Amino acid sequence: MIKLIIADDEENIREGLASCINWSDNDITVIATTADGECTYNKIISEKPDVVLIDIKMPKMSGLQVIQRIREDHNMNTAFVILSGYDDFVFAQKALKFHVHEYILKPCKPEDILKAVLDCTKHINLNKTLSPNNSNNDFYTFYSKFNDSISNLKERTIINYPIEQERRLISQLQLSPIEECMVNLDSFLEIAKHNNALSSIVNCCVMLYMKIYRILVERGVESNFTNLATVLWDDVNVLSSLENSLRATISEAYNRLNTKRETSISVSNAIRYIEENYKNELSLEIVANAIFISPSYLSGLFKQSIGMTFVDYIHTVRTEKAKNYLANMSLRNCDIAENVGYACEKYFAQVFKKRTIAHRFAKQTLVLA
Amino acid sequence: MGQVFRLSLNRGNNTVTIKDEKALIEFYLRLQKMRYQDRLESSLDFSEDVLNLCIPKLIIQPLVENCIVHGAEDNSETVHILVSVRVNNENMLEINVTDDGSGIPEDILPLLPDKLYYSETSSSSRFALKNISERLKLSYGQKYSFKISSKPGNGTQIIIKIPIENLNH
């Protein structure tokens, strides 16, 4: 059951929201409705709601101030959905800074509000199911089960570590067909087995595992990988099951590295160039020239491997950078625009709004019942 | 490849306490000492007040791994690794990984960590430094510093600094 607080200083909106939307069918309970900022703040502290639907303009303390105080002074995961009559860039900017889930513009449809709250609850449920498991199964605790096998090891040596095979395997994981990886894994195991003690062989495999995990972290595709490994690496004291565990681990790593992998080095060079030069003027021609390929080829590569156009990608990078700058409130918008490569502040605001408010903050037009 | 973009989408749950990273490094060093025996010596110096701070996963361990790759693997002399993590007097978290291994060649050093371009040989351990720097940039913007000093034959020192106020507990 998700706990919701509705905060709005207008009574008919507050009560309308509480009664017109079918919360209970969606496993949501309205635990309180509040009419001013101070009261809202106190209720959040005492009732610990999962989601707060909050107006910006309220007596005693504004909605944004409430959110700010909760974020800065309390370690709570409360999700906020702002319901506001203001289509104001500065408000949206602050909302972004305080990790507001959505920013809905009044007037709007009840189903959009419900949708926004449901979207919050998805995250909440996900976090609830993931967090206990994650802490148990994370890589940082996973490896510790091998600590014991190391301590008990009389022969504290690894005579043969297949370093060449390891190196080759790591590069194959990113460049070659899976069959070649498996052939190389066989030769890795072959050499590892030259060690006499089983625990030395286990340790070779653990080292390889650590190396693979690190590559996944570097590529940002490591989430929940260890959950799988914990299941797989349960019975490592039998050689055949150890080999199977490692094989399955490599196959999973291969899939993760390759489903999202670009086909071309050129794309990554282009990304690198954009990353380093986003402050300056950028065009398809400039980037293509810098990395020695033709503009039309680069344009095609981008769509194919990243799934967005070159121009979209540049706007995305700049918007991301702008968000970093926005966290620093002392900068003026025109400075931010210049820092992320937009000569015109107005154009920057337009692009930024389109990419953040339109995507993350639902903008609605119809009248609330 | 493309990881800048992807990582920025996945940002969030990629941190770990320094205490956990330290335990991982200890485990890793124990494994490596089975391989290199007395050719590998290490000392870890983590001050108490940093242990509960959170940093991105696998920021320090790959630096230690690099010391071994470019120290013990490449030559037959004993390599000494010193890892120290503390809060310095500028209120920055300071991670210092120093070794007396073979050092970084003079032609590569000026390119590190950020200026290497990915190529077919991107699995090379030099890219570990670039990747760490990229991941720090994603988490801390321009607010971190990453200094590499090295002399061929004399070893390498890497110092990463992150302002304390940017770290979560």
Where does the pLDDT of residue A333 fall: very low under 50, low under 70, confident under 90, or very high at 90 and above?
Answer: confident
**Mean pLDDT confidence for B40-58:** 91
With beta carbons under 8 A apart, name residues in chain B contacting A168. none
Report the chain A residue with the minimal C-alpha distance to residue B11. A220
- A220:B6 CB<8 A: yes
Lowest mean pLDDT among A258-267, A292-301, A340-349: A258-267
**CA proximity to A301, closest of A262, A260, A258:** A262
Q: Residue B97 has what pLDDT?
A: 95
In angstroms, the separation between the Cα of residue A219 and the nearest Cα of chain B is 6
Predicted TM-score (pTM) of the model is 0.53
* Residue B15: φ, ψ to 5°: -110, 165
Which residues on B lie below 8 Å from A137 (Cβ)? none
Residue B147 contacts A, CB cutoff 8 Å: no
A320 touches chain B (CB under 8 A): yes
What chain B residue is nearest to A322 in terms of C-alpha separation? B141
CB contact A206 to B (< 8 Å): yes
Q: How far apart, in whole angstroms, are the C-alpha atoms of residue A197 and residue A367?
A: 74
Gyration radius from chain B CA atoms: 16
Cβ atoms within 10 Å of B17's Cβ, excluding its own: 17
Report d(CA A117, CA A119) in Å as an integer.
5
Give strand ranges (E) for chain A.
Answer: 2-7, 28-34, 51-55, 79-84, 102-105
B125 inside 8 A of chain A by CB: no
Residue appearing with tokens 């007097």? B89
Which of A154, A196, A272, A309 is best to mutate for the B interface (most B CBs within 10 A)?
A272
Q: Which residues of B touch A167 (CB under 8 A)?
A: 123
- Whether residue B3 and residue A262 make contact (CB cut-off 8 A), yes or no, is no
- pLDDT band for position B43 (50/70/90)? very high
Cis peptide preceding B152, ω within 30 of 0: no
**Mean of pLDDT values over B92-119:** 80
**Whether B23 and A269 lie within 8 Å, measured CB to CB:** no
Say what the pLDDT of residue A149 is: 52
Residue (of B68, B142, B149, B40) closest to A157 by Cα position: B40
Q: How far apart are CA B26 and CA A337, in angstroms?
A: 46
Closest partner CB to B123 (pick from A170, A260, A305): A170
Which pLDDT belongs to residue B57?
A: 87
Q: What confidence category does residue B1 fall into, taking pLDDT thresholds of 50, 70 and 90?
A: very low
Measuring CA to CA, how many Å separate A339 from each of A248, A334, A348, A357? 46, 9, 11, 21
Name, of A50-59, A308-317, B25-34, B66-75, the range with top average pLDDT.
A50-59
Range with lowest mean pLDDT among A58-72, A142-156, A179-193, A240-254 = A142-156
Contact A306 B2 (CB under 8 A): yes
Per-residue pLDDT at B98: 93
The burial of B90, by beta-carbon neighbours within 10 Å (0-12 exposed, 13-18 middle, 19 or more buried), is given as: exposed
Mean pLDDT calculated for residue range B146-162:
90
A140, A203, A272 member nearest B16 (Cβ) = A140
For residue A262, give the nearest of B1, B10, B34 by CB distance. Answer: B1
pLDDT digits (tens, 9 = 90+) for A77-128: 788 998 888 777 677 777 777 778 788 887 788 888 888 888 777 766 655 4
pLDDT at B101 over 80: yes
CB-closest option in B6, B31, B121 to A203: B31
Q: Return d(Cα A143, Cα A29) in angstroms, integer.
A: 42
- Residue A133 has a pLDDT of 37
Query: pLDDT tens, A181-226?
Result: 999 999 999 988 887 677 778 888 888 888 888 888 887 777 666 6
Model pLDDT, residue B82: 94
The reported pLDDT for the residue numbered B121 is 44
Peptide bond into A107 cis (omega under 30): yes
The pLDDT of residue A161 is above 60: yes
Residue B145 pLDDT class (50, 70, 90 cuts): very high
Cα A359 from Cα A308, distance rounded (Å): 15
Q: Do A214 and B6 touch (CB under 8 A)?
A: no
**A206-220, A234-248, A351-365: which is most confident:** A206-220
What is the side-by-side strand order in the sheet with B92-99?
B40-46, B79-87, B92-99, B155-163, B145-151
3-state secondary structure of B57: coil
Contact residues for A44 (Cβ-Cβ < 8 A; gap 6+): A5, A52, A66, A70, A76, A78
At residue B11, the pLDDT reads 38
Domain extent, residue B32, equals 2-166
Q: How many domains does chain B have?
A: 1
Minimum-distance CB partner of B118 among A153, A221, A268: A268
Q: Which two tokens stand for residue A112?
A: 């959009």
Amino acid A358 reads A
> Which of A63-77, A115-129, A200-214, B152-166 is predicted most confidently?
B152-166
Say which CATH number the domain at B146 has.
Answer: 3.30.565.10
Q: Does the CB of A54 have a partner CB in chain B at under 8 Å? A: no
pLDDT attached to residue A203 = 80
Question: B129: which DSSP letter?
Answer: H
- The structure tokens listed for A121 are 């609850």
